[in-house]
Amino acid sequence: MLKVREDMLDEYKKHHEAVWPEMLEALSRTGWHNYSLFMAGDGLMFGYFEAEESLEVSLAGMEDEDVNGRWQEMMAPYFEVPPGALPDQSMLELQHVFFAE
């Protein structure tokens, strides 16, 4: 979960309508599959993805991707995170507690 600044919601969404192909390739290469972002009207965002191994392993893989550093720096101003923190360093992992099929 992360929070996008309310005054930047539209611009943030536009970036995600055209995610860089090299970023998508890096996500796939580092184990991020079925990745979705959901956003409430106030900018509270929930992200979901299926990791090949774990969130930690997938995040570590992305740390080695040059494109990720550039993407995180571009996205940093959109989020309500501590000064100097990058969005992918501020994610909160949620525990799965229920599923119905």
CB 30 within 8 A of CB 22: no
The CA–CA distances, whole Å, from 57 to 20, 45, 97 equal 22, 22, 22
Rounded Cα distance, 90 and 88, in Å: 5
Rounded Cα distance, 52 and 78, in Å: 28
Is 16 labeled as catalytic in the residue annotation?
yes
CB 53 within 8 A of CB 45: no
Return the active site residues.
Answer: 16
